[in-house]
Amino acid sequence: MFRTKPGEGRALIEDWVNRPSLRKLVEAFDGAWPDGDVEHIVAELVQFSEIWDYRGGTQSRLMFHEDPDAPDPFEDLTYEAADELGLLNPELPSDDTYDYLLILGGLATGVEPRVQYAARLVDEGLTVRRQIAGLGSYRELQERELPISHRYAPAGRYEIDHLAAMMNTLFRAGDEPVELQIDDTPTTATVWETPATGACGPSLVAYSAVSADPDRMAANTAETYQLFLAHAPIESGQTALLVTSAIYVPYQHLDGVRVLGAAGLEVETVGLVSPSARRHPPSAHRQEIRSMLQATQRYLQAAQETASGPPG
């Protein structure tokens, strides 16, 4: 289960780096397992995992880079590690009440089942006290996303169009959807809030973050978390349930513990398996294991900076 209180991410990281399947995968690629403390082990693994990086540090939405039917000699080891690390198997929420329900953005093919799943949780009795929030960006939709997106946002151009329109439709059943005005030339972060879903229900909020490097990539997960924190009425001790796709759970969860946990939120993350019958190819799972390792390094660096205090 991926549920972590503020400041407790290190235990999760130590568990990950002690997984035998991760070591076997590294050694299968002729890597030497590093010795030392967890900070050193993670730093070495991040550097080593560059061989699994087919994005070249660009868009996280670039998933399939090869023929998924192509033979992969490391397939079994990759799926074994992905399974142990939490990239394959979905889990149900551990509680029936949260302060915030956060639906993470991405490709329309992934966002659609996430919003549907979150709406189903609420329909089946999940209580959300404060906000049902969609965290997206001004990433321009790809051609292959448009047939899905245009079912909810016929004139939509951006990831946030699709996410906000889906939430507006599925969480306001029986009500007239609220029209959202999306800027055609977005340059600043934007927040839309619609009325509560019931007399005392949570508000619906769509957050569209802007990347710190917009010429190179859309806003990343952490940047959407930061925008949420800048506007949501956060109080220490509150809880947030994050909904994403299973393959992204480890890194998005730990980034959530780092960013949202710093504001006092206890974070739980649940992930859905791809709605298609085909699994993501092994190379995609190795890419996301690398993303997990990078998230561990970011968390450990942030924890070290916090412990050191501000520079004198």
Residue 271 lies in a domain: yes
Residue 249 lies in a domain: yes
Give the pLDDT confidence of 149-177 residue by residue, as tens digits: 888 888 888 888 888 888 888 886 545 44
In angstroms, the CA 274 to CA 293 distance is 22
Residue 173 lies in a domain: yes
Residue 227 lies in a domain: yes
In angstroms, the CA 141 to CA 71 distance is 30
> Residues 215, 226: contact at Cβ < 8 Å?
no
Q: Tell me what the pLDDT averaged over the chain comes to.
A: 86
Residue 127 lies in a domain: yes
The neighbour count for residue 109, using CB atoms within 10 Å, is 18
Residue 300 lies in a domain: no
In angstroms, the CA 91 to CA 271 distance is 7
47 pLDDT higher than 60: yes
In the 8-state DSSP scheme, what is residue 64?
-
Residue 239 lies in a domain: yes
Chain position carrying tokens 């030339």: 185
Residue 183 lies in a domain: yes
Strands 266-272 vs 3-4: parallel, antiparallel or unpaired: antiparallel
Phi, psi of 276 (to 5 degrees): -75, 155
The neighbour count for residue 233, using CB atoms within 10 Å, is 9
Residue 50 contacts by C-beta under 8 Å, 6 or more apart in sequence?
290
111 pLDDT higher than 80: yes
In angstroms, the CA 166 to CA 116 distance is 8
Q: Could you list the residue range(s) of the whole structural domain that residue 153 is in?
A: 97-276
Which DSSP string do the residues of 149-177 spell out, in sequence order? HTTT-TT--BHHHHHHHHHHHHTTTTSPP
The pLDDT of residue 44: 98
In angstroms, the CA 124 to CA 136 distance is 25
Q: pTM for the full model?
A: 0.89
Number of domains in the chain: 1
Give the pLDDT confidence of 255-307 residue by residue, as tens digits: 999 999 999 999 999 998 765 535 788 999 999 999 999 999 999 999 998 88
